[in-house]
Every structure is written in structure tokens, then in C-alpha cells.
Amino acid sequence: MLPNLPMQLVKKLVNFPAVVRQSIIESCEKLKSMDYRPIYEIYDNLTGLDRVRSLHVGVAEAERNFVQKQVERRACQTEVFQLEEARNRINIQLDSVKRSDENFLKLVTELHELSRQHQQARDKLTSIELAEQVTFEQFSSILRHSQAEERIQASRMRQWTVGFSLAAGLIGFSATWIRFRQLDKQNASSLHLTSATSQPTTEYSFQDITSSLHSSNQRLRTTLDDLNQIKSNLNDLIKTLKENLNVMNMNITKSSDVKVVQLPVGNIIAEIPSIDETKYMYYTYGTGILLLSAFIFFLINR
């Protein structure tokens, strides 16, 4: 049984596209064969389309009756015109035939029959015209009622559209407001947790800043001591140089009468800052660092 299991899985995988295609075809056929008339009826009842459709059917029926009466009236009018023409011809023949002629009686009989048929056709035409007028009034009233119902249905659809639009807008606004509310709560909780967890970190960072400032102050003091030592050495060196230059000037003056130009050693020495100025500069630098650290600590605790 176990060796056949992989082969069965392979067969199922191979047949999977065909199964999916067959299921899709069956689903489409089921959807096509379903009766959607109840859904359409509910929609028509809500929107008023059922009344509009029934009125459209009534309008079509009234129009058909009116057209039928028009056809009957035209046929009856044609019959009346033909009878009138036949009667006129017989009247012309009677005028040309003598009363004693044998055809006179025959023509009179035909004229009587045509007159009777003409009167019947006229009566029929009158009744058909009255029926046509009635059908026209019915058709006009049903058409006006249908147009009024269409306007009512259009206004109802606009009202439904506006109502659904407002409902959708309110739902969207409510969902957005709830979402932002949740986000505000999450942000508030995260900020609370961050402030609670960042307190030791802040203290630790302040301790680090304080220790770094102390170490910087120690380095500054060491640097100042080194500079003082260098300054004292430079003063000794300059003093020695002055003495040597004086001795050299005296020797040159004694040996010859050449005018010697004195080197501007004083200006060079004057440009070197004193010990007090160097101390003031480094103390200012350290004070600025301390103030900047205090400002950073104030911002962190805020």
C-alpha cells in the first residue's frame, strides 16, 4: 500500500488542473441555471421599477389599440369615399338616362343600395372615430402617468443614492476614527513604555557624560601643565638667545664700525601667548562643554 501512495499523489497532481477546470465549468453552469427573478423582483420593489414596467406594458397596449383604431378608421374612410364615388357615377348616369328607359329603374335600385351602404359606412366611421378618440385619450393618460412614475422613480433612485453615499461616508469616517483612536492608544502606550524604560538609560547616559567630562577635565589639566612646562622652557631658551645676541652685537661693534640691524626677536616673542591667556582659553572651553552637557541632560529629562 505504501509504494502505491506516491504514484497516487502524482496522478492526483497531474489531474488537478482538469479537476479545477471541470469544477469551474460546473460552477458557471450552476450560476447560469439559477433563477434570479426573486432578486430582481426585490430590487424592482425597492426602486419602483415594477410599477414603471407595468405602466410601460399599459402604454404599449394602449398604443396598440390606438393604432388599430386608426387603421380601422382609415379603412372605413376609404370605403365611404368609394361608395360616394360609385353613387356620383350613378347620379351622372341617371341624369343622362330617360325616365322611361328600362335601365332607369335598375340605376335607381343601385343608387338606393349604394346610399344605404354609404349611410352604414358613415355610421360605422362615426363610431370608429369615437372609439379612436377614446383610445387616444387612454393612451395619452397612461403615457402621462408613466412619465410621472418614471420621474418619481428617478427621484427615489437619487434619494437612495444620496442615502447610501451618506451611509458609506459615515461608515468610512467611523472606521477611520476608530482606527486613529486605536493608533493613538498604541502610540500612548508605546510612549509610556519608552519613557518608563528610558529612565535608567538616561541616568546611565548622564553618568557616562559626567565621567567623560571628568576625564576631559583631567586631560585638560595635564595639557595645561605640559604647556606651562613648554612655556618655561621657551622662556629660558629666549632668554639665552637674547644673551647670545647681545654678546654677538657687542663683538661685532668692537670689531668693525658696520651698523648692525637688530633682529625683530621681540615681536616674535610678543606673539607667543602668555600662560594666563592659555589657562583662560582652556577654562572657557571646559565651561562650554559643561554647559552643553547640562543642556543635553535637561532636554533628555524633559
Contact 201, 301 (CB under 8 A): no
pLDDT value for 237:
75
Q: Are 289 and 216 in contact (CB under 8 A)?
A: yes
Q: Which of helix, strand or coil describes residue 272? A: coil
Return d(Cα 78, Cα 121) in angstroms, integer: 10
DSSP category for residue 260: P
Q: How far apart are CA 29 and CA 22, in angstroms?
A: 11
Residue matched to cell numbers 338606393:
112
- As a whole number of angstroms, the distance between CA 90 and CA 108 comes to 8
**Rounded CA separation 196/225 (Å):** 45
Residue 263 pLDDT: 43
Cα(21)–Cα(10) distance, integer angstroms: 18
- Joined grid coordinates for residue 301: 529629562
Q: For residues 290 and 285, give the distance between their C-alpha atoms in angstroms, rounded to a whole number.
A: 9
Instruction: Round to whole Å and give the CA distance between 114 and 90.
Output: 9
Contact 272, 234 (CB under 8 A): yes
CA distance 63 to 139: 6
Burial call 11-40: b when 16+ CB within 10 Å, e when fewer: eeeeeeeeeeeeeeeeeeeeeeeeeeeeee
Q: pLDDT digit of tens for each residue in the chain (302 aa)? A: 444 556 666 666 677 777 777 788 877 777 777 776 777 778 777 777 888 888 889 999 999 999 999 999 999 999 999 999 988 888 888 888 777 777 888 888 888 898 899 999 999 999 999 999 999 999 999 999 999 988 888 888 888 888 888 888 889 888 888 988 888 888 777 776 666 555 544 444 556 667 777 777 777 778 777 777 777 777 777 777 777 777 777 776 666 544 444 444 444 444 445 555 555 665 666 666 666 666 665 555 55
In the three-class reduction of DSSP (H, G, I as helix; E, B as strand; rest coil), residue 273 is classed as coil
pLDDT at 144: 92
The answer to whether the beta carbons of residues 283 and 196 sit under 8 Å apart is no
| pLDDT at site 293 | 62
Contact 50, 44 (CB under 8 A): yes
d(CA 83, CA 113): 10
pLDDT of residue 267: 47
The pLDDT, as a whole number, for residue 137 is 93
